[in-house]
Chain A
Amino acid sequence: MKPNDILTADGLSRRRFLRSATSMSVLAALYGVGALQPALAWPRSGNLEAKKEVDGNTDIFRLTIDRTSMPIDGKDARPITVNGTVPAPLIRLKEGRDVRILVTNNLDEDTSIHWHGILLPFEMDGVPGVTFPGIKPGETFEYRYPVRQSGTYWYHSHSGLQEQLGHYGPLVVDPAEPEPYAYDRDYVVMLSDWTFEDPHDVFRKLKVAEGYYNYQKRTVQDLLEDIKSKGWEQTMRERAMWGEMRMSSRDLLDVTGSTYTYLLNGRSPADNWTALFKPGEKVRLRVINGSAMSFFDVRIPGLKMTVVQADGQDIEPVPVDEFRIGVAETYDVIVEPNEDRAYTIFAEAMDRSGYAAATLATREGARGEIPERRPMPERGMESMGMDHGDMDMNMGHGDMDMGRNDMSGDMNGGVEMAADASDPHAGHDMSGGSQALNDDHSGGMNMAEDEPSEWPLAGRKISHGHDDHGPGAAMVASNPQNRMSDPGIGLESTEDHKVLVYDDLRARAPWPDQREPEREIELHLTGNMERYMWSFDGKKFSEVDGPIRFHHNERLRLILVNDTMMDHPIHLHGMWMELENRHGKYRPRKHTLSLKPGEMVSAQITPEHKGDWAFHCHLLYHMDAGMFRVVSVA
């Protein structure tokens, strides 16, 4: 039943062929002896593709979910596998065709598969307790849906904590029409985080012992160094602010490299997955963050990456040196390695506690240099979502998003801020300013003709309710900001090192629905780290009464406000979120929006598909803690 997956070791995109009988028989041999032999991981180079059967206009796939003994990073592990591997095999669909996927559950617990980013009838969305009852042990569930979109997506379990155990894989939909960019090779690069601990233990530790996995907390040593470099007064003022809030400026990721082994296509840095190329070829890398809890900063030292897709949707190409990818997001980049050498694909965890790495090389076994790890960044004022005036700067304006690149990680932006604040038209000049800033880095793209759009949320008054969201919210952002031109904590865009930001994402063409939103829904991302409570508007899933109701085919503006100190990737099933960044009607559309601390974003939505859809933070343990709602479209 299992030898039905294909190695596409060479990544040749347009000439995908069943590889020789040799690799098939190797596969069969490995599978044949079953549990005695370690299961097959993904190949050292290339992707592992699920076998497809064709029946008229329908493609058929068979997937089997097992608990399988196999080595991960050379150590014994027992992940949940799909057709015997972690990640699950690449499912390759074609826009315009239909698909049937038969999923057999060999586990002794329920399972499910959610097709992340795919718009489909809601009963096929695969969320137990929302769209179907789940797949019982021993049962086979048939997913069946039309494929009417293209791009890079992924699929994963939506049952309990199974994603943490390896139950995820890539999903690629080839477009019906040719793509507006060319490439010679095509590889999926799937990032994930693996722990040898039981995920339920991880969750319990987060619940009972705050900061359990953080071994980069501030120490007395850091305090002394700060006093030395910043002076007594400044240091004390900063510490007092954090102290009063009982927040840690070093709390970037809840679960860290102290337990995680970071994987790329199922392989640890030591196991060195390799993407092969010939010098001069264009290589498309479909980067998918299939982690449970980890944001990654991805770069290939020595190569410029041109981002051509975000969340499976084509965007105007943006050449970058690095991009941050939130959990569940995807970015497709094209690189053009000209030299006959090995490049390192380096994905550093946002908190710098570890990394995934692989090699882009002309032959297997080659290895590029592993870049030096950067020090852990610290959060600064911007993460508090505060009026800068609150910081003893005595400034009246709070809605400014200037100078933020200079503000990340330190609190010395005051001078620049003060100058901006004195400008009576600060609000308008701001967006013009950030346009100029980005154009400096947009490397040949003709953005100048692009009239920057005014931020629809500028000047918006935010309400946190009468009780600041109650005990479930340890803080509120008194004045949340537009941070779409901010690359995020620990990253900085410079002349020589362009980092992707949300304001760079510009759709290829305006999406069909350009109606003005008739209705607004505002939701706040809330949490209480001390007890590991995560919620929307201070209320966990168990504490709210019923779903959020969207009207079928209405035009809606969803406003998200991050009232926490963490970054959250917010995922809406079943419909696109058109992110209102500076590109006006060229809004990029996404299935997952990452919000920085103190950030506010908005997205336009047309709920085209009726039914109940999940809406949640894609950090697995945040979701499970209750940061989850159902959106009901009727």
Chain B
Amino acid sequence: MTIQTIKHPSRWLATACVLALTPALAMADGRGDYAREQGWDSPVPDMQTGMLLFDRLEYAAGDDEDSVDWEFKGWYGGDTNRLVIKGEGEHVVSGGDGGEIEALDLLYGRLIAPYWSVQAGVGYQLEYGPGPNHDRGFAVVGLEGLAPYWFEIDTSLRISEDGDASVDFEAEYDFLLTQRLVLQPRIGTSFAFQEVEEFGVGQGVNHVKAGLRLRYEIQREFAPYIGVSWKKQLGDTADLAREEGHDTEDLRLVAGVRMWF
């Protein structure tokens, strides 16, 4: 992956789209000779579908400020090749201003093993208000899937347009208390290979995040929840935060809804 490629995210995007949306290139299938001669359609054509999941859409009340936090994932495609869009961020609604789109990724995903898909594409980050906006683009390579014991794993390597590299990791698990009441712990962390002062990123482990949410699935598609989310900045990142006069630890009560279409 060269810097040049990163400078042209549109090329990445175009490749990803073509790969995800083109049906299997070889047009062979299981049809018999007779059906082929006649030019009949496949008796069981592959289904292309997609979904849009708001995994978190929540009001997060902290000591000093409240925010609306969000995380979504959408995909479209078949069983093997998919176009994936993911995003995560927060918007301060009281006790401060501004917010952040931590990540907004457009990826091509490919199933490589029964529970695992690799994803590659472009990402975007934006910090806005109260000061001037900062943003940057990334090349992203990720691995997403279901680990043994049903841990949902999402991890990615990100290289910014300035060549700064970082690794993200997130895991979550669903405890079924009843058929509809689900307790979901999640943890996340991030490691940066270089310091990026503009975005408050120090070298090394940036932070650990943990959340615990209790949702009730009124329908599978619609589940309100309450919970807590906690984040602690570590190492150089924590030092940078202190220099800026920010707390390095943040605990919030959250209430929101998980929903998908």
Interface residues of A (CB under 8 A from B): 127-131, 133, 158, 203-205, 207-209, 212, 215-221, 240, 243-246, 471-475, 528, 530-533, 540-547, 611-612, 614, 616, 623-626, 628-630, 632
Contacts and interface: CB of A to CB of B under 8 A. Distances in A.
A612 B35 contact: yes
Interface string B90-129: 0000000000000000000001111100000000000000
Interface stretch (B156-164, B172-180, B195-203, B248-256): B172-180
Given A128-B43, A243-B148, A471 B113 contact: yes
14 contacts: A130-B31, A203-B47, A204-B49, A212-B220, A471-B111, A530-B146, A541-B30, A542-B29, A542-B44, A542-B46, A544-B30, A546-B31, A623-B44, A626-B44
Contacts of B41: 128-129
Contacts of B180: 215
Interface of B: 23-24, 26, 28-35, 38, 40-47, 49-51, 79-80, 111-115, 146, 148-150, 175-180, 220, 260
Contacts of B28: 544-546
A623 B113 CA distance: 22
A204 B220 CA distance: 13
A159 to B, nearest CB: 9
A194 B178 CA distance: 27
Give 6 closest A-B pairs by Cβ, nearest first.
Answer: A612-B32, A129-B43, A243-B149, A545-B28, A474-B114, A208-B51
B38 A207 contact: no
A209 B260 contact: yes
A203 B33 CA distance: 29
B31 A246 contact: no
Nearest to B43: A129
A240 B148 CA distance: 9
Contacts of B23: 542
Nearest to B27: A542
A221 B16 CA distance: 44
Nearest to B75: A208
A541 to B, nearest CB: 4
A547 B33 contact: yes
B148 A246 contact: yes
Nearest to B177: A220
Contacts of A612: 32-35
A471 B80 contact: yes
Contacts, number: 138
B208 to A, nearest CB: 25
B68 to A, nearest CB: 25
A629 B43 CA distance: 10
A216 B44 contact: no
Contacts of B260: 208-209
Residue in B31, B44, B149, B220 with the greatest tally of chain A CB atoms within 10 Å: B44
A473 B176 CA distance: 26
A629 B30 contact: yes
A582 B115 CA distance: 39
Nearest to A214: B179
B40 A128 contact: yes
Contacts of A245: 148
A155 B61 CA distance: 61
Nearest to B112: A471
Contacts of A616: 44
Nearest to A132: B40
Contact of A471 (B29, B114, B148): B114
B47 A625 contact: yes
Given A471-B113, A544-B29, A547-B30, A133 B146 contact: no
A71 B28 CA distance: 44
A542 B24 contact: yes
B179 A219 contact: yes
Given A542-B24, A624-B47, A133 B40 contact: yes
A257 B99 CA distance: 46
A64 to B, nearest CB: 24
A244 B29 contact: no
Contacts of A628: 30, 43-44
Contacts of B45: 542
Contacts of B26: 545
B79 A130 contact: no
Given A541-B42, A626-B46, A630-B30, A130 B35 contact: yes
Residue in A475, A531, A623, A625 with the greatest tally of chain B CB atoms within 10 Å: A531
B114 A217 contact: no
A531 B111 contact: yes
A240 B150 CA distance: 11
Nearest to A548: B30
Contacts of B49: 204, 207-208
A614 to B, nearest CB: 7
Contacts of B47: 203-204, 207, 624-625
Contacts of B24: 542-543
A217 B179 contact: yes
B35 to A, nearest CB: 6
Given A542-B24, A542-B29, A612-B33, 6 more contacts: A129-B35, A133-B38, A528-B114, A540-B46, A542-B23, A630-B30
A238 B91 CA distance: 45
A209 B220 CA distance: 9
A624 B45 CA distance: 7
Contacts of B38: 133
A244 B47 CA distance: 29
Contacts of A472: 79, 114
A129 B176 contact: no
Nearest to B48: A207
Contacts of B115: 246, 474, 530
A547 B148 contact: no
Contacts of A630: 30-32, 35
A207 B178 CA distance: 23
A235 to B, nearest CB: 14
Nearest to B182: A219
Given A129-B43, A473-B114, A528-B114, A220 B30 contact: no
Contacts of B51: 208-209
B30 A546 contact: yes
Contacts of B44: 129, 541-542, 616, 623-626, 628
B177 A219 contact: yes
A217 B176 contact: yes
Contacts of A624: 44, 47
Contacts of A632: 32-33
A219 B176 contact: yes
Nearest to B42: A129
Contact of A221 (B34, B40, B178, B220): B178
B146 A246 contact: yes
Residue in B35, B113, B260 with the greatest tally of chain A CB atoms within 10 Å: B35
Contacts of A471: 80, 111-114
Contact of A543 (B29, B34, B43, B179): B29
A370 B35 CA distance: 49
Contacts of B176: 217-220
Residue in B31, B40, B50, B148 with the greatest tally of chain A CB atoms within 10 Å: B31
A4 to B, nearest CB: 31
B36 to A, nearest CB: 9
B183 to A, nearest CB: 8
B21 to A, nearest CB: 15
Contact of B40 (A129, A217, A219): A129
Contacts of B112: 471
Given A208-B49, A541-B42, A624-B47, A243 B30 contact: no
